[in-house]
Chains A and B, each alone.
Chain A
């Protein structure tokens, strides 16, 4: 159709089509220019992440893992690592004034399942009375250490010992040195002779140290101290490993000797794949070795941490489960849930294992080398320990019985008792190893009383302190305790009692006894990499973050439960 002036008239659709075509052309051109420009201006070299040998991305073969450092919290979280405190005689006078304190930290679990206790530990220099007690306690070891072997008698002049009591001797030795009761030549002489003897001990069936050794000869003996073999105790070995780690970390010059001692041992049967600990004994009829689970709530976790300090992974042994609670004086006291009638092993609750965890390990995880002193990263252990303390104070307040319960020797039959807070279904049950109820042997244990005094700074522990600090015989050491029913002192002297008392006194001065390892790697982890010995004997690799034992929490008792 044409208009009057002769021009043809375009329809609106024509315009729209032209416009769209123009837009598409411009868009295409822009995209093309953009792509081209991007290619030209943003071109980069292809990223390649190299895998460095021994680095994080390197899946290191087992034979090479010994070179790895043990991963601790200071490495992972970038926190400052603890440092070994100086000996008491080397401490500046204001040492405790500048010591970091928990100011206003509320008690309870933190988000990492660490636990801040309601009570604080005592810290400070030793007073004269405490120093005198320390000297007397150390005198036990001076008196009853055998010059031939360097082993100390477990009980007085009876020449036998266990690894548990030998660890107590090492505890006394470390404390004596750090409290300046002895000097380094004496310390070195004793510890070197002891470690040399231990390295030379004949093992139980070429596995691990026998339960008992004769201190004069170093020969393995039975419970009557006659030549023979009994088996091994996982709990004793666990405690010994704690003190080997303490010595190695505090005194790096002993590291090689200590490693060589442990590298003689065979750990294939003491821990299973689940991380449960097993002791061994000899079947009297077949003479074969029998492995049996060992440890109950309290001791089991403490010993498990000893193994964990050397890279083992006792995951099951470190857990509180199975446990139950018994309400005593308003406190839910935790006890092992394994029925003694079924397992034929008593589930006694005593103070000692919690004390040792608190004094030596600070209720911390084995991989923790950086948390503040008032934060206990093995939270539930600290929280359970608070209950153990509280129930004993409550008993004192409600009955008048001064209470600090632990296992202890007694003079005459039955010679040894578990003086428990709870066992076999009964509170305040004082039982013999075979299960007899012997309330006449209930006592305020010296080691328990002074251990509580060191870790719980309260009025009640002041009373315990007054009862115990002068309970000694200058010639023989600290007495085992004070009978609860008024029969006087428990007139027997043991390595364990004196060793723990020295540990408690050392804790007052230096805090947690375990200090961080300051080296990079260890012979313990690098030895025998060229052989199959590590595999056969179940020697561990340096623990990495994924190997850490889990920090757990359990329900907290908010109010008294009567």
Chain B
């Protein structure tokens, strides 16, 4: 019993020693006080203007602590001021006295929330805006009211906002909550768009590229342009830029976070391999990347010497693809359409909000490089293998066209690696194939069955429409689909193709890809839509065979009826 007693006493002593300073210093005495002005809490540089016309100002401090500088300005009809710790106020009057959006950030993080009476706006883990209405209950209806006109908005405004709802709320007016027809809450939306831009600007470490299109951004003044002029990622311009993919989509494509969430310009969309490590953090910890991942595309890999490296890289790739697949959702497409309005890439993810995790950026950049290298390798390996190709209607196709439909071309893969990848090549490949099949079908019908050209074209068109309506039909990957998803589609079809005669010449690669496909099928299946995942061999059935099975009976029936008609008189 002596021993436990000593342990107890030691513990009590430790607790006493631990508690003494806290109790003696009365933590409540200054909680939320001077400690807030520790330099570690400064997350913003007030010398970088939030918008054109904003200025950094000094404030006269009477006490011993505080922020000596702040920034103030006017944008989108609201005045604003913010401190280095992110604390900001937005209001339509220069006194910032009425109708104020107040932004408060969690100390030492980029997690900020904007509050106005009864409403709170914050960024979700995925960089989407979300509202929280204090007085809202289940069953309430919501309206955006501007003067005497009003429009009802769906209840999903309480979920992460899509671009349409965000634009609607950002247009101004009042957000009215009604319960049983009676108004129970009304919040002005003045300053909503400015404050949401501010939230994103903070999360992106004051990167102008995340600001909405048309935002009055100074020309990178004070942004340290001198040493980044040659880096496309750092180019900022107040001019409207071409609509490009949302960073989320791009990050999915590349399997890596997008550097500094550039969304208003096309050029800055690069993977981590193309830029210096940016202060972003990975959503979750990733496995260490093999040393070979740092290397560029392999030159002429020997089979066995590079096998282990290839396997390790594929493992990494699988991990990333699976992760991205799990995170993606059906609103990817909407956000990809969102363009500049939903520019939050991985910048706003929760782990990225923590300043301390910025060092993961280097790891992500390495992973991105590995992914790009992997895709190139896969393409290189696959190109000679695909030589036998799939025969289509007797017409020979090039090795590229012989690839299963939906498989990204080498150019597309290279584009992914360079950050320019878009899904159009995927769509173009599919449509081209359909058109080609149609072009082959018409002369076939004319020659084989003696149909007129007009009838043959109508028949081919009808067959094509029916084919589109069938769920089993191969459809272009959704706009927001990721390479992972595209490869998942490929994975579903690959075994069939293998059975149909597509032979891999390298058993090693065959084995690796088979493993990858199996994993994707098992783990990624619940996330896939039927339309996306079910690509079957029927999709590749020749149109002539289809014609025989579907159109020929009808034609025979028509011919039979025609002959009856001729006989009956």
Interface residues of A (CB under 8 A from B): 143, 154-158, 160-162, 164-165, 211-212, 222-226, 230, 235, 281, 344-346, 407, 409, 411-416, 424, 426, 433-437, 439, 473, 475-476, 491-493
Contacts and interface: CB of A to CB of B under 8 A. Distances in A.
A488 to B, nearest CB: 13
A434 B57 contact: yes
6 closest A-B pairs by beta carbon, nearest first, are A156-B30, A437-B97, A158-B34, A156-B29, A157-B25, A224-B39
A416 B104 CA distance: 16
Given A413-B104, A436-B96, A437-B95, A212 B60 contact: no
Nearest to A284: B69
Interface of B: 24-39, 42, 57-68, 70, 72, 81, 83, 87, 89, 95-97, 102, 104
A412 B34 CA distance: 9
Contact of B65 (A164, A225, A346): A225
B63 A416 contact: yes
B68 A223 contact: yes
B30 A416 contact: no
A411 B64 contact: no
A424 B104 CA distance: 26
Given A155-B34, A437-B95, A476 B61 contact: no
A155 B26 contact: no
A157 B59 contact: no
B64 A162 contact: yes
Contact of A416 (B58, B62, B68, B70): B62
B39 A160 contact: no
A238 to B, nearest CB: 13
A161 B26 contact: no
A91 B26 CA distance: 37
Contact of B37 (A223, A235, A407, A434): A223
Contacts of A493: 26, 29-30
Contact of A491 (B28, B34, B38, B66): B28
B60 A155 contact: no
A436 B31 CA distance: 22
A411 B32 contact: yes
A436 B66 contact: no
18 contacts: A155-B30, A157-B25, A157-B29, A160-B34, A223-B66, A223-B67, A224-B37, A224-B39, A225-B34, A345-B60, A407-B62, A409-B33, A411-B32, A413-B102, A414-B87, A434-B81, A435-B72, A439-B97
A409 B60 CA distance: 15
B259 to A, nearest CB: 30
B30 A433 contact: no
Nearest to B102: A413
Most buried by B among A154, A345, A415: A415
A526 to B, nearest CB: 35
Contacts of A226: 39
A230 B58 CA distance: 12
B89 A409 contact: no
Contact of A433 (B25, B36, B66): B66
A222 to B, nearest CB: 8
Given A155-B33, A225-B64, A473-B26, 16 more contacts: A156-B26, A156-B30, A157-B29, A157-B30, A226-B39, A344-B58, A409-B63, A412-B33, A415-B34, A415-B66, A416-B66, A433-B61, A434-B83, A436-B81, A436-B95, A476-B29
Most buried by B among A222, A223, A344, A476: A223
A492 B33 contact: yes
Nearest to A424: B95
Most buried by B among A158, A230, A426: A158
B26 A475 contact: yes
Contacts of A155: 30, 33-34, 63-65
B30 A492 contact: yes
B267 to A, nearest CB: 32
A216 to B, nearest CB: 12
A473 B28 CA distance: 11
Given A162-B64, A436-B96, A415 B33 contact: yes
A22 B64 CA distance: 101
B63 A162 contact: yes
A434 B29 contact: no
Contact of B64 (A154, A346, A413, A437): A154
Contacts of A435: 59, 72, 81, 95-96
B460 to A, nearest CB: 69
B418 to A, nearest CB: 40
Given A434-B70, A439-B97, A164 B62 contact: yes
Given A155-B63, A434-B70, A475-B26, A344 B34 contact: no
Contacts of B62: 164, 235, 407, 416, 433
A224 B38 contact: yes
Contacts of A411: 31-33
B57 to A, nearest CB: 7
A234 B60 CA distance: 13
Contacts of A436: 81, 89, 95-97
A230 to B, nearest CB: 7
A439 B95 CA distance: 11
Contacts of A281: 58
Contacts of B87: 413-414
A158 B39 contact: no
B64 A223 contact: yes
B31 to A, nearest CB: 7
Contacts of A160: 34, 64-65
Contacts of B95: 424, 426, 435-437
A415 B70 CA distance: 14
A306 B202 CA distance: 45
B65 A223 contact: yes
A506 B218 CA distance: 57
A225 B36 CA distance: 11
A280 to B, nearest CB: 13
A180 to B, nearest CB: 26
A347 to B, nearest CB: 11
B82 to A, nearest CB: 9
B64 A433 contact: no
Nearest to B56: A284
B422 to A, nearest CB: 44
B57 A344 contact: yes
Contact of A158 (B35, B61, B102, B104): B35
A474 B81 CA distance: 38
Contacts of B30: 155-158, 492-493
